C-alpha cells in the first residue's frame, strides 16, 4: 500500500483520478501493484524515484507506467484487459488495453536498465507481448507460436531484458494481432540515453503518442475488427479532436514529439508555423548530418518518428495528419459527393416522405460542422471541434501546439486560445479589389470568371468553369 501511495504521488495523480486494480492479491502475490488511471487527461510527467537525470515524456491523454526497483531490476506490471475509452466527450468505446486504458501506459527507462515486465492476461483469449524495436534475447521477443507459447487467459508471463538502445519504441501483442490491435492493444516505450549522446539533444518538452484507428458504426460502441480500409475514427492514443490534449509549450522551448503508427495506413504528420527535423526512428537516432527540415513527415505503418523543433512563434498552431479524411470523426462511408448539386427540389420531395430528411454537401461539407442533426447515441459529429472563431471543421487526428510566453516549465495545462493582436490577423476586406490576376491568365478561356460581381460566395461560378473545362480538353483532342 505504501508503494502504491508513493506511485500516486510520483505520478502526480490524485486519488479521484485513480481506480485501484481489481487483481486478486493472492493471485498476484509478488507482482508489483498495478496502478490504473481512469481519466483520459494527461498525467504530470512521472519523475523517476532514483532521480535519474532525464526529462520525462508526456503521453498525450495518458501517463507513464510506475515501476519499482527489485535488486537492481526495474519491475513493471502490465495487465491486458477490456477497457472503456472516451474518444472525446460524447463517445465512449469498448476497447482492449492495458491497466485500464488504451493505449496502455508509456514505459520509460534508461539505456542499460535491466527490466522485468510482468504481463497478466485478463482478456477472454490468449495474448503475448512484443517489444517493437528492442534489441533483446530472441525468447523475449513475444511472438506467440514462434518464440513462446501464448499467454492463456488468467495467466501471467514475465519478460526480462536489458534496454540496450536509447530511442522511441512501442509494445503490442503478437497474438491474434488483427483483433488485438484493432481493439486498441498497444503502448509506447521510451529509452532515455544514459549519458549525453551526440545524436540526442536535450529538450524542454517531450511528447509522445501512438496513431491508431477504429471502425465504430454510428451508435455502436465496439470496433468492427474485420475492417481493413474503412476506418471512421482516426485517433491519437485512442482519442479524437476535440478530445486530444493540446501541446502547451513555452516560447523558445525545444520540443520533441514522438509518434508511432499502428494503423493499416500511413499518416503524414504536419505542423504549422514551424519546421522540424526527424531526429530519430525506431531504428535509433538519425545522425545529425543526415537530417533535413520538413513541415510534414510520413509515419508509415509500424514506424516511429521523433520530430524536433524550437517553438519560437507565439500562437495556436495546428498539428495534424495531412490526410484530410483523417481529420474527421465518425460517419458512414456511403455518402455520394454532392458538391455543385442543387438538392433543394429533390429535398422538398423527399421531405414529404421522410420529415427529418436533410440534403447534405451541396456547397462542400463545411455545413456538416454547423449542422445540428440528431445523431445516434454515442456518436460524435463529423467535424465538431470549436475554436475562438467558430467551428474548426476538424475531428480525428488533430490538435493544437500552443506556444505561449508565460507557459511555466513543466506546466502542461491548456492555456486556452491564443489572442492574436488584431492587426496580425486575417480580416474581412470590403474595399476596392485590385485587377484580377486570374482574369489575365485565363484570357484563353474567353469569358473569364467574373468572380467579383454577382457570384460572391459561390465556390464554382458555373459558366466560367464550363468554359475552362472545354478549353482544357481541346488541345488534347488536337494531339490525336
Ligand atoms: Cu492520417
For ligand 1, the distance from its centroid to the CA atom of residue 238, given in whole angstroms, is 13
Which residue matches cell numbers 544514459?
194
CA 298 to ligand 1 center in whole angstroms: 9
Lowest mean pLDDT among 25-29, 91-95, 195-199, 309-313: 25-29
Give me the mean pLDDT over the 450-472 stretch. Answer: 43
Could you write out the three-class secondary structure of the chain? CHHHHHHHHHCCCCHHHEEECCCCCCCCCCCCCCEEECCCCCCCCCCCCCCCCCCCCEECCCCECCCEEECCEEEEEEEEEEEEEEEECCEEEEEEEECCECCCCEEEEECCCEEEEEEEECCCCCECCEEECCCCCHHHCCCECCCECCECCCCEEEEEEECCCCEEEEEECCCCHHHHHHCCCCEEEEEECCCCECCECCCCEEEEEEEEEECCCCCCCCCCCCCCCCCCEEEECCECECCCCCEEEECCEEEEEEEEECCCCCEEEEECCCCEEEEEECCEECCHHHCCEECEEEECCCCEEEEEEEECCCEEEEEEECCHHHHCCCCCCCCCCCCCCCCHHHHHHHHHHCCCCCCCCECECHHHHHCCCCCCCCCCCCCCCEECCEECCCCECEEEEEEECCCCCCCCCCCCCCCCCHHHCCCCCCCCCCCCHHHHHCHHHCCCCCCCCCCCCCCCCHHHHHHHHHHHHHHHHHHC
Confidence check: pLDDT of 162 > 80: yes
Distance from the CA of 321 to the center of ligand 1, in angstroms?
5
Checking if the pLDDT of 196 tops 50, the result is yes
Q: Which residue has the higher pLDDT, 442 or 123?
A: 123
* Mean pLDDT over the full length of the chain: 81
More confident residue, 384 or 157: 157
Residue 274 has pLDDT above 60, yes or no: yes
Ligand 1 center to 267 CA (angstroms): 4
- pLDDT band, residue 337 (cuts 50/70/90): low
Give distance in angstroms: CA of 324 to centre of ligand 1. Answer: 8
State the average pLDDT over residues 145-165: 97
CA of 82 relative to ligand 1 center, distance in Å: 26
210 alpha carbon to ligand 1 midpoint, in Å? Answer: 12
Interval between CA 211 and ligand 1 midpoint (Å): 8
The alpha carbon of 228 and the centre of ligand 1 are apart by a number of angstroms equal to: 14
Fold of the 1-330+379-427 domain = Immunoglobulin-like (2.60.40)
| pLDDT greater than 60 at residue 294 | yes
Beta bridge partners of 127: 151
Q: Is the model's pLDDT at 472 over the cut of 90?
A: no
Of the listed ranges 266-270, 375-379, 393-397, 418-422, the one predicted with least confidence: 375-379
Which residues, listed in sequence order, are joined to residue 172 by a DSSP beta bridge? 130
Predicted TM-score of the model (pTM) = 0.79
Q: How confident is the model at residue 381 (pLDDT cuts 50, 70, 90)?
A: confident
Higher per-residue pLDDT: 63 or 362:
63
Q: In this structure, which long-range contacts are made by residues 270-273, counting pairs with CB atoms below 8 Å and at least 24 apart in sequence?
A: 270/295, 270/296, 270/318, 270/319, 270/320, 270/321, 270/322, 271/295, 271/296, 271/307, 271/309, 271/317, 271/318, 271/319, 271/401, 272/317, 272/318, 272/319, 272/401, 273/313, 273/315, 273/317, 273/401, 273/403
Q: What is the mean pLDDT of residues 59-69?
A: 93
Q: In angstroms, what is the span from residue 308 Cα to ligand 1's centroid?
A: 20
Q: Of 354 and 169, which is predicted with more confidence?
A: 169
Distance 237 CA to ligand 1 centre (A): 13
- Asked if residue 331 has pLDDT above 60, the reply is no
Model confidence pLDDT, tens digit, residues 118-148: 999 999 999 999 999 999 999 999 999 999 9
State how far the Cα of 281 lies from the Cα of 441, in Å rounded to an integer: 45
Measure the CA–CA gap between 331 and 163, rounded to whole angstroms.
Answer: 42
Report the candidate in 122, 112, 96 with the shortest Cα–Cα distance to residue 28: 122
Across the range 90-100, mean pLDDT stands at 93
Gap from CA of 233 to ligand 1 centroid (Å): 10
Q: Please count the residues of the chain.
A: 480
Pairing of strands 315-321, 304-311: unpaired
Mean pLDDT of 63-91: 93
Distance 295 CA to ligand 1 centre (A): 15
**What distance in angstroms lies between residue 62's CA and the mean position of ligand 1's atoms?**
20
Please say whether the beta carbons of 148 and 104 come within 8 A.
Answer: no
How far is the centre of ligand 1, averaged over its atoms, from the C-alpha of 234 (Å)? 7
Separation of CA 218 and ligand 1 centre (Å): 20
Residue 127 has which C-alpha cell?
Answer: 495474448
pLDDT band at 8 (very low <50, low <70, confident <90, very high): very low
Using the structure block, give the residue that is written with the C-alpha cell 458512414. 332
pLDDT of residue 473: 38
Q: How far is the CA of 266 from the centre of ligand 1 (A)?
A: 6
Task: Please report how many Cα atoms fall inside a 13 Å half-sphere around the Cα of residue 281, on the Cβ side.
Answer: 12
Least confident of 37-41, 160-164, 202-206, 248-252: 37-41
Residue 304 Cα to ligand 1 midpoint, Å, equals 14
Ligand 1 geometric centre to CA of 322 (Å): 6
384 C-alpha vs ligand 1 centroid, how far in Å? 18
For 354, other C-beta atoms within 10 Å of its C-beta total 8
Q: How far apart are CA 471 and CA 450, in angstroms?
A: 17
CA of 385 to the centre of ligand 1 (A): 17
- pLDDT given for residue 232 in this prediction: 83
Top-ranked range on mean pLDDT: pick from 88-97, 126-135, 392-401: 126-135
Give mean pLDDT, residues 142-155.
97
Domain ranges of the chain: 1-330+379-427, 437-479
d(C-alpha 1, C-alpha 13), whole Å: 15
Amino acid at each position: 500500500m505504501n508503494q502504491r501511495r508513493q506511485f500516486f504521488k510520483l505520478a502526480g495523480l490524485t486519488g479521484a483520478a485513480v481506480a485501484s486494480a481489481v487483481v486478486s492479491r493472492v493471485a498476484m502475490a509478488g507482482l508489483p501493484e498495478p496502478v490504473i488511471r481512469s481519466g483520459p487527461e494527461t498525467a504530470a510527467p512521472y519523475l523517476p524515484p532514483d532521480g535519474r537525470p532525464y526529462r520525462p515524456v508526456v503521453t498525450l491523454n495518458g501517463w507513464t507506467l510506475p515501476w519499482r526497483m527489485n535488486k537492481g531490476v526495474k519491475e513493471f506490471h502490465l495487465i491486458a484487459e477490456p477497457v472503456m475509452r472516451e474518444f472525446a466527450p460524447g463517445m465512449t468505446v469498448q476497447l482492449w488495453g492495458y491497466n485500464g486504458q488504451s493505449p496502455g501506459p508509456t514505459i520509460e527507462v534508461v539505456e542499460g536498465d535491466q527490466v522485468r515486465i510482468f504481463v497478466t492476461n485478463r482478456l477472454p483469449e490468449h495474448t503475448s507481448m512484443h517489444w517493437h524495436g528492442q534489441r533483446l534475447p530472441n525468447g523475449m521477443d513475444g511472438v506467440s507460436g514462434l518464440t513462446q507459447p501464448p499467454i492463456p487467459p488468467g495467466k501471467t508471463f514475465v519478460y526480462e531484458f536489458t534496454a540496450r538502445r536509447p530511442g522511441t519504441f512501442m509494445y503490442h501483442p503478437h497474438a491474434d494481432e488483427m483483433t488485438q490491435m484493432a481493439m486498441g492493444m498497444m503502448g509506447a516505450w521510451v529509452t532515455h540515453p544514459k549519458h549525453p549522446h551526440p545524436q540526442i539533444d536535450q529538450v524542454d518538452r517531450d511528447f509522445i503518442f501512438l496513431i491508431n484507428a477504429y471502425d465504430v458504426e454510428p451508435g455502436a460502441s465496439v470496433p468492427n475488427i474485420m475492417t481493413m480500409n474503412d476506418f471512421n475514427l482516426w485517433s491519437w492514443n485512442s482519442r479524437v479532436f476535440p478530445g486530444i490534449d493540446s501541446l502547451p509549450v513555452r516560447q523558445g522551448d525545444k520540443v520533441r514529439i514522438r509518434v508511432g503508427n499502428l494503423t493499416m495506413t500511413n499518416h503524414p504528420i504536419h505542423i504549422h508555423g514551424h519546421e522540424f527535423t526527424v531526429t530519430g526512428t525506431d531504428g535509433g537516432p538519425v545522425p545529425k548530418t543526415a537530417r533535413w527540415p520538413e513541415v510534414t513527415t510520413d509515419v508509415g505503418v509500424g514506424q516511429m518518428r521523433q520530430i524536433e523543433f524550437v517553438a519560437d512563434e507565439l500562437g495556436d498552431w495546428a498539428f495534424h495528419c495531412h490526410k484530410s479524411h483523417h481529420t474527421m470523426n465518425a460517419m458512414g462511408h456511403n455518402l455520394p459527393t454532392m458538391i455543385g448539386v442543387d438538392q433543394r427540389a429533390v429535398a422538398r420531395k423527399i421531405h414529404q416522405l421522410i420529415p427529418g430528411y436533410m440534403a447534405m454537401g451541396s456547397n462542400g461539407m463545411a455545413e456538416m460542422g454547423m449542422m445540428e442533426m440528431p445523431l445516434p447515441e454515442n456518436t460524435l459529429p463529423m467535424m465538431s471541434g470549436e475554436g475562438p472563431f467558430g467551428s474548426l471543421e476538424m475531428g480525428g487526428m488533430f490538435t493544437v501546439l500552443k506556444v505561449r510566453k508565460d507557459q511555466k516549465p513543466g506546466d502542461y495545462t491548456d492555456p486556452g486560445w491564443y489572442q492574436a493582436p488584431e492587426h496580425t490577423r486575417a480580416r474581412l476586406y470590403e474595399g476596392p479589389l485590385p485587377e484580377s490576376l486570374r482574369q489575365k491568365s485565363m484570357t484563353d478561356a474567353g469569358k473569364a470568371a467574373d468572380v467579383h460581381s454577382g457570384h460572391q460566395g459561390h465556390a464554382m461560378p458555373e459558366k466560367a468553369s464550363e468554359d475552362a473545362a472545354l478549353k482544357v480538353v481541346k488541345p488534347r483532342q488536337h494531339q490525336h
